[in-house]
Structure 1
Amino acid sequence: MKAALRNYRARMQRVLDYIDQHLDGDLDLDTMSAIAAFSKFHFHRQFTATFEVSVHRYVQLARMKQASNRLASNGALSVTEIAMDAGYESPDAFARAFRQRFGQSPSSFRKSPDWAPWLAAFGPLEIARSKLMNTTYTENDVTIREVAPTQVAVLEHRGDRARLNETIESFIRWRKAAGLSPETSPTFNIFRSERTPANPDDYSMDLCVGTDMPISADDEVMKAGTIPGGRCAVLRVNGASHNLEPAALYLYRDWLPASGEEARDFPIYCQRYITFRPDAAAHDVVAELFLPLK
């Protein structure tokens, strides 16, 4: 990486670190552009170009994440205090924004957090943070593991990836109704096509949750399936798990030809791990990518 690019990324990283450390303070454009040592007239455009989210939106999401963490973990602070620290003018405004984003009132979230919409809401924050991460892999990042077969409930997405969010919402509703929390029941994605096929209608992916509970043949959402066991090449991806295409390309294009191994007749898939801790950062989302081997 060229020195100029390293310096640019370091300056942007200083801004993210400063925001994280001053969420309760006045995060104005003058201060943040000075932290990055960029002109304030161009800083907001540079930030948006780098992180694919505006600085205002980033701060808003980071403050809401902190607020939700405080609700779930700190009974000493009132909802009003948390709302004020998050930059809202009144508890009512905070409650409206909170319910719109998470489908729960702040008080309800404090009593019984629903983590699935919480995770979905902070996707843009995870994506933004991942922009500064190094996604260069080496053979030392890959391990070969003997994997046990896993019984799963499967929701198939077939067709344009633009409609994937609708499928994900159906998946989340089903697993919530079935009591299969991401904390206790593993989450898998089976990639049956490229991320961006030439024909968008050829996009194909399975969303799976590990469970041995019987799935009725009449179930309108899910069907029973199995992720087969056997030898797999495993590549761990930290943080940038919203797009696993670079990791998959490395396994297929670089690692597999050099390894002398042969791929088995089953698609590449991933298991997603999410740490639900009050202090968990967006980059604590981890995925392991599995390439089945003969």
Structure 2
Amino acid sequence: MQKSVAEENSMHIYISRVNRVIDYIKANLDCDLSLDRLTEIAHFSKFYFHRIFKAVVGETLNGFVNRMRVERSAYKLIYNPDLSITVIAYDSGFSSPSVYSREFKSRYDVSPTQWRKLKVNQGSKICTADSNLCKEGAAFKMYIDSSKQTPIWGINMKNQNLNIEVRSMPEIPIAYLRHHGYYNPQDKILFQSLFAKLMAWAVPRNLFNPPATKAMTIFSSGHPETTAPEHLSVDVCISIEKETAVNGEIGKRTIPQGQYAVVTVSEGTLAECAEAWDALFNGWLPSSGFQPGDGAYYIYHLNDPEQHPQKLHSVEMYLPVRPL
């Protein structure tokens, strides 16, 4: 049975309010995420909010908060080797290391210490001489870009040569449309559908004016190494002015300022874009002197691949980083 316009509008409002709560949770995992505070953000009563949250997200509010905290810690265990497990436990919002260890083991079936050792051992095997990531003897070479006077890391891969640089980025207000659940980053139909829906909102309001307006994809919840497929989410976005109003399913938030490692793919297939992410995370990062920051990683879309003769993508990929 088809939903009425009123029912669809109500669902859009529910989704928008729940997404606002999700954004707050992710930005404040180390704080006291009380029901009073979350329902205040959502503008729902305490009695109904648990049911509404589960209907939109597919898991309970408490389950979501605990999962976000455990997954954040799992990511830090891999990419922040200088941090002790105790520091990671408190930084991720757990009341004690023992509570953290119990929650971690219930989700991943190993202790935090075992997880860290396992992932470090896996990472050490990624860029071998016959690896997909790099050619023998030509993995990463740093040089100074004379025009920018900044260091650039060159990566010679089997299918493409890439450059990585670290940029200081300002904060970016965005309007977004969120997809909850499993997705394939190379699912062309899904992302075309999401962007079409976002543009149907933005274009009539004169909010999409490239190149001033940036089209982006933000991987805002989870990483394939730490998150079950059904709990992934992704946002398609455009940059906006801070005072821009949003409505319906369209949410609004700000990408924080900070340092970002940036890799550019000038013209590549979706598979080559995926290889570039892999090179950035698993090849460059461990030997760069940087570690991931706490923000989301994202893509700037520099062209419309449907308008390219070979349907190739031009993108910049941004990973938040900070010194080790």
TM bucket (normalised to shorter chain) is 0.3 to 0.5
TM-score (norm 2): 0.42
The structure richer in helix per residue is: 1
Q: TM-score, normalised by structure 1?
A: 0.46
